[in-house]
């Protein structure tokens, strides 16, 4: 009896797996260019980073969990982002009073189209990381643990991002106090708002991915999404400290990222010990 031939990979599988890595590398290069650019060139780099990050999220979700998941992530995150931002602009809830600059381009319900793309850039890698952080949790509690962890990562990323965007003039706060120690341009209400938005978004995103993902997902690794998240947080902290004159947000970025890295390292060592 002869062995059955191994299943052949679909012609596009290699490209589908490689594209998220290519997008991640391009995004890292763009992020490196940001503190080195100025004026209109820096605006172009900002747009490039967000477009690459949003594309990476959709492509990686589709490559790792299936096309339905990629499209579902795109639709859900965009809808939630526009809803929260439009309400925030109109009422000041939940972030506090703020206004967007005209340099961000066309808007929908007063929300620049770049903003939901930025949410998309941040949301999917946050969920991917949370999935790993919550893996050791008891099965019955794993979903709420994922939601809470993803919301915390989502909000923590903004602690680094928001001062940088305020410095660039993309939005301003009517009253930026009180803020986190070392950050005097962004109010604490913004952090509270991002935590709330993160809990709502991840509470919807987690079951949506479960319903739309193909069997035996993920079909490719999570390295591209985690690379972008790690670089934009720790790399952003280095840029804030060394080039952008934002030592407060640099310190917060490092303080928030290092415990997560420690948890991942402990998980990796435990997994290696189990395999021995």
203, 147 in Cβ contact below 8 A? yes
Q: At what angle do helices 13-33 and 39-65 cross, to 10 degrees?
A: 150
Distance CA 30, CA 249 (A): 20
* CB burial of residue 203 (10 Å; 0-12, 13-18, 19+): middle
In a domain, 10, yes or no: no
DSSP labels, 197-210: HHHHHHHHHHHHHH
33 Cβ neighbours under 8 A, 6+ residues apart = 45
Place of tokens 């992020």: 31
In a domain, 68, yes or no: yes
In a domain, 199, yes or no: yes
CB-CB neighbours of 48 under 10 Å: 17
Distance CA 120, CA 58 (A): 8
In a domain, 138, yes or no: yes
In a domain, 70, yes or no: yes
In a domain, 3, yes or no: no
pLDDT tens across the length of the chain (276 residues): 444 443 344 445 566 678 999 999 999 999 999 999 999 999 999 999 999 999 999 999 999 999 999 999 999 999 999 999 999 999 999 999 999 999 999 999 999 999 999 999 999 999 999 999 999 999 999 999 999 999 999 999 999 999 999 999 999 999 999 999 999 999 999 999 999 999 999 999 999 999 999 998 888 899 999 999 999 998 999 999 999 999 999 999 999 998 898 888 888 888 888 877
Per-residue DSSP letter, 99: E
Alpha-carbon Rg for the chain in angstroms: 19
Helix (H, G, I), strand (E, B) or coil at 108: strand
pTM metric for this prediction = 0.92
Provide the domain count of the chain: 1
In a domain, 5, yes or no: no
In a domain, 98, yes or no: yes
Domain span at 66: 18-267
Distance CA 133, CA 131 (A): 6
């Amino acid at each position: 009896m002869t062995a059955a031939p191994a299943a052949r990979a679909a012609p596009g599988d290699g490209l589908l797996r490689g594209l998220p890595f290519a997008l991640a590398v391009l995004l890292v290069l763009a992020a490196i260019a940001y503190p080195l650019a100025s004026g209109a060139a820096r605006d172009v780099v900002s747009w490039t980073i967000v477009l690459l990050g949003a594309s990476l999220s959709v492509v990686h979700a589709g490559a790792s969990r299936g096309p339905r998941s990629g499209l579902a992530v795109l639709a859900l995150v965009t809808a939630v982002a526009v809803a929260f931002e439009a309400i925030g602009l109109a009422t000041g809830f939940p972030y506090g009073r703020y206004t967007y600059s005209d340099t961000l381009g066309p808007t929908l319900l007063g929300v620049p189209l770049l903003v939901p793309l930025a949410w998309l850039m941040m949301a999917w890698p946050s969920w991917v990381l949370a999935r790993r952080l919550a893996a050791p949790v008891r099965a019955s509690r794993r979903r709420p643990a994922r939601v809470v962890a993803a919301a915390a990562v989502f909000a923590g990323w903004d602690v680094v991002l928001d001062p940088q965007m305020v410095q660039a003039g993309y939005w301003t706060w009517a009253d930026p106090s009180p803020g986190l120690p070392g950050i005097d341009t962004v109010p604490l209400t913004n952090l509270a708002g991002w935590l709330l938005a993160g809990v709502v978004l991840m509470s919807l995103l987690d079951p949506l991915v479960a319903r739309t993902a193909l069997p035996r997902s993920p079909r490719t690794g999570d390295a591209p999404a985690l690379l972008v998240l790690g670089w934009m947080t720790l790399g952003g902290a280095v840029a804030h400290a060394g080039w952008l004159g934002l030592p407060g947000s640099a310190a917060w970025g490092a303080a928030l990222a290092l415990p997560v890295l420690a948890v991942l390292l402990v998980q990796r060592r435990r997994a290696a010990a189990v395999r021995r």
